[in-house]
Structure formats: structure tokens, C-alpha cells
Amino acid sequence: MEINAQSPMIPAAVIGITQLLFAELSTAEVYVKADDLIRVIEAQQQQLEEQEAQIQRQKADLEALRKQVEKLHRARPSPSPPQAPPSQDPPPQSSEAPVNEQDLDELHHQIEQLRRDIPSNSLPPPRAKFDQAVSEQSDIEAVISSAATDWPGSIPLLGSAMKVKISGYADLDANYDTDALVSPAQFVPADIVTFDKTAAEGADGQTSFTVQTSRILFETKTPWNGREFKTIISMDFLQDPSVTTPNPRMRKAYGEVSNVLWGGSVLVGQDWTTFADLVAIPNTLDFQGPNSVIGLRHSMVRWHKQYGPQYHFKVAIEAPDSQIFEEALEVARWPDTVFVLVSETGQMHLQAGLVLRDLRASGDPDSAVSTTGWGFNLSGTFNMPGALSQDLLSYSVSFGEGYSGLLNDAPPDAAYDIYNNSLEALPTSAWYLGYQHWWTPCLYTVATYGRVRQKNYDFQPGISYKKTQYRSINLTWTPFPRWLVGIEALYGVRQDKNGDRGSLWRTQFTTRVTF
């Protein structure tokens, strides 16, 4: 075969062979460097072992010399009493050699030399290259290990009194709904479709997987002059419950300082509404919880003080941004005002709360109408007696006019009367009951029932919210302290003013790992 020197295949072949050779050389070079590094490590290890053996030999020599010195000291003659008359018998022959002072001094010199040669810690000195890093790491570990345990999981910042804690969990919810629901990411009875159901809404059943409820929490605490400054920022990924795609959402963001304003604490930022009782919320796997739970977050300024070991008092002004009006747009003028009294003992928890709201809306572009809203809530928990002392009963009863937007179902607070150009607060009542039973120390069941009912006016449309029900029961297992696995059955019902009704079952599987 004739080879054409001008053929473009020759340079390409040469380049390919060259790259292959260099690639092989590069790989070989990596192996050579790795072998060299292994040999260096083995040589250093051998050197350390030889140093340890040398130290042991020096210790043995030192011990032998010490014994020899003691023996010479015992052989040295002590001052003798006055000489007795010479005996006629010949003096006995000593078995010890006569003591030579020069030899004794030489032995002392050898002992001192050996002591100087042996390191004080009897271990080979570490390599100087890593001394600083090891020292810094030891300092950090010492600070962390000596930190106070009053806030488990926190880390002190070096050079500061502040402690930091990062926590949260990764959560997966797998759901199957038997009918149409417009919020597949969470179970809200108010979102059950009551008429004109479509397959896109899940009328034929739908399965959904979501990690939107996964959460991350960042906290700090800083003591200062008898006070404590605390900050919290938390977020999840449930920005839009109508889809299962994760989108970040701010949950809480506030700062709080203790022992100010008559000995109470002041919180500024976004937190759960003061009207809510988080202690009394049933421990459902469903992220939303019962329809009748007061569970909204607001921007606020809150003052809180504890009176003795049993009582707490809270007062807050909160943003009115959650108000919902039928046929009108919100026009906020005054913030919500909340008063809460809490009583706690070893057996029970009891909370009473009152919220006052200024409801203003614009149904006509040229005017605004207003009314007053209010709500009262009584909630708590009770530890069961006797053999069921580990079980917990939780409850809540609330009622009022124009407060319903604070509930999980979030029905309208008020309705606009287009005939009389007025705003009417909607009377609402809500309650729930939950019971948690422990089968074993790591296996429990929670059963919950909730109900919300709202009075309708004649001028409201027929599709207006009237009432809902919520039922759930679960079995939850915690095989390890930071891992939870559970399954839950839920049933919800919605009924409108005109009698239209929708219901569905949901089966939910949840697994959650905390950190």
C-alpha cells in the first residue's frame, strides 16, 4: 500500500498516538507519585517505630544505671564508731569491690546525659509541619466539648458569646386521593371540589409525591448583661400547595430579646400568630393538620412575660394581611390586636386567646366599608391518668365574627353586601379533638376530628363556603431517634351554601429524617 505523505490522516494519527502516549505517561506518572507517597509514609512509620524502640532501650539503660548507683551508695562506708582494740583474728574479706569515687561520678554523668536524651513525654515528637494545624484543631474541639449543654446541638462561635444551631428535616409525602382536590400538596377540606369536577383536578383519583414540607431552621442565641438575644430564620418549600414542585417559602424570621419592658421578652418579625396554640395541635402526619386549627403566620410585634412557674401573658399587634373578603378587596387600616393567657401544670396545658380586627374592604372604587371582627379561642392538652399516662388529649374551641381567615381552612372573614354597600363579618365556629396513644416507646397512633361551620347571608352566592369536616388516623413508627415512618388515612367533606357537597379519602405515607 502506498502512503501519501500529504494525506491528512497522517497528522491525525500522529496526534492521536501522541495523546495516547501522553495520557499513558500521565497515568503512569500518577501511579509513580502515589507509590512515592506510600514509600514516604512507610519510611516515616518505620522511623517512628525505631525512635520508640530507641527510647525503650534508653529507659532500660537508665534503670540499670539507677540500680547500680543505689548499689554503690549501699556499699559506701558510713562513719564508724571509735575503733575497738584490734582483734587477733584476720579481717574478713569483703565480697564487694572497693568504691571508686571517680566511677560513681561518671555514672551520675551518664544518667544525666540519658535523661536529657529522652523526651519528656516519652513519645516521638510530631512533625513540625502539622504542629500548628493540630494545635488549632485541638483548640476548636476543646471549645466545642466544653460548651454548655443547656442548648443541645448548638455550636459556640469562637471569640463570641453567640451560639448557633442549624436543624430541620428532609420529608417525603406520598399521597393518593380518591376525588378532586385543588391542593394536592396538603389536605385542606376547603379545597375539595364540590361541583363540575374534572380529571385534571383528580376526579378519577390522583397520586402525588412531594418533598415540599422539608424544612431548614437557623437559630442563634447571644447572652448579654442578663438578657438573651435570639434570632430564628426557617423555611420550607411549600410556596404553592396547588402543585407538588418545591419552591422556597419563608416560614419564620424574627429576633427576640428577653428581660425588657417590665421584665418580659419582645419579639419582632414573622412568627405564628399569637392567637394560635401550637402545643395543642394534634400530631398528624398531614402537614396542614385539622381544618379548625388556628395556624397562620404573621409579621408582628409581641410582648410576652411569665408570671411564676404556671402563667404566661402575651400581647401582640399583627399584620392584617390574611383577611379574605367575598366580592371586595382588602383595605388594611389597623393591625390585629391579640391577647393570650396561658396556664401550665405537669398534668395539663390551657390557653385562652382573644383577637380584635379592623375589617376594611373596597367593593366600590370610590369608597371603602368597614366592620369589626373578633374571635375567642380556648385550647389545651391533658395527660391521661393511670396506665394511660403517656397518652395525650388535645382540643380547641373557637368562635367569633370575622376571624375565620386565621383557620387552616381559611374561609372568608367577611362578605360584601353589594345591595347595601356594607361589609358583614361572617359568624364562624370551629373545634377539634385529638388523641395520641402510645403502643410502645417508638410506636404511636393519633386520631383527630375537626369541624368548621360558617353562617351565610342571603346576599352571598350559592357556592359560598358553609362547613367542612376533617378526620384522620395514623400509625407512626420511629425506629431510630431521627427517623420517622408512618401511614395515615384522612377523610374530608366540604358543603357549600347551596347544598353542593364534595368528599374524598386520602392515604398518605410519610418518611422523615431530622438533623
Residue 92's identity, in one-letter code, is: P
Q: Count of CB atoms within 10 A of residue 291's CB? A: 26
**pLDDT tens digit string along 285-337?**
999 999 999 999 999 999 999 998 899 999 999 999 777 888 888 888 899 99
Q: What is the pLDDT of residue 35?
A: 61
Backbone φ and ψ for 114, nearest 5 degrees, come out as -65, -40
**pLDDT tens digit string along 67-85?**
776 766 665 554 444 444 4
Cell digits for 426?
Answer: 361572617
The conformational region for residue 475 under phi > 0 = left, psi -120 to 50 = alpha, else beta, is: beta
Instruction: Report the alpha-carbon distance of residue 488 to residue 334 in Å, rounded.
Output: 41
Residue 390's identity, in one-letter code, is: Q
CB distance 449 to 309 below 8 Å: no
Q: What is the pLDDT of residue 57?
A: 76
Backbone φ and ψ for 177, nearest 5 degrees, come out as -110, 140
Q: 353-386 as b/e, with b when 16 or more CB fall inside 10 Å? A: bbbbbbbbbbbeeeebbebebebebbbbbeeeee
CB distance 369 to 416 below 8 Å: yes
**pLDDT tens digit string along 218-261?**
999 999 988 999 999 999 999 998 889 999 999 999 999 999 98
Q: What is the pLDDT of residue 344?
A: 96
Backbone φ and ψ for 161, nearest 5 degrees, come out as -85, -5
Q: How many residues make up the chain in this entry? A: 515
Cβ neighbours of residue 105 closer than 8 Å, sequence gap 6 or more: none
Instruction: Report the alpha-carbon distance of residue 14 to residue 104 in Å, rounded.
Output: 82
Q: Shortest CA distance to 172 belongs to which of 510, 515, 421?
A: 510
Say which DSSP state 388 is in: G
Instruction: Report the alpha-carbon distance of residue 156 to residue 140 in Å, rounded.
Output: 10
Pairing of strands 414-417, 325-326: parallel
Helices (H), 157-300: none
Beta partners for residue 415, in sequence order: 326, 424
Cell digits for 513?
Answer: 429524617
Superfamily for the 168-514 domain? Porin (2.40.160.10)
Q: What is the pLDDT of residue 466?
A: 98
Collapsing DSSP to helix, strand or coil, 336 comes out as strand
Say which DSSP state 223 is in: E
In the chain, which stretches have pLDDT less than 70?
A: 1-42, 69, 71-149
Q: What is the pLDDT of residue 50?
A: 75
Q: What is the pLDDT of residue 321?
A: 75
In 237-292, which ranges are E strands? Answer: 249-260, 264-272
0.85 surpassed by pTM = no
SS (HEC) of 139-195 = HHHHHHHCCCCCCCCCEECCCCCCEEEEEEEEEEEEEEECCCECCCCCCCHHHECCC
Instruction: Report the alpha-carbon distance of residue 157 to residue 203 in Å, rounded.
Output: 54
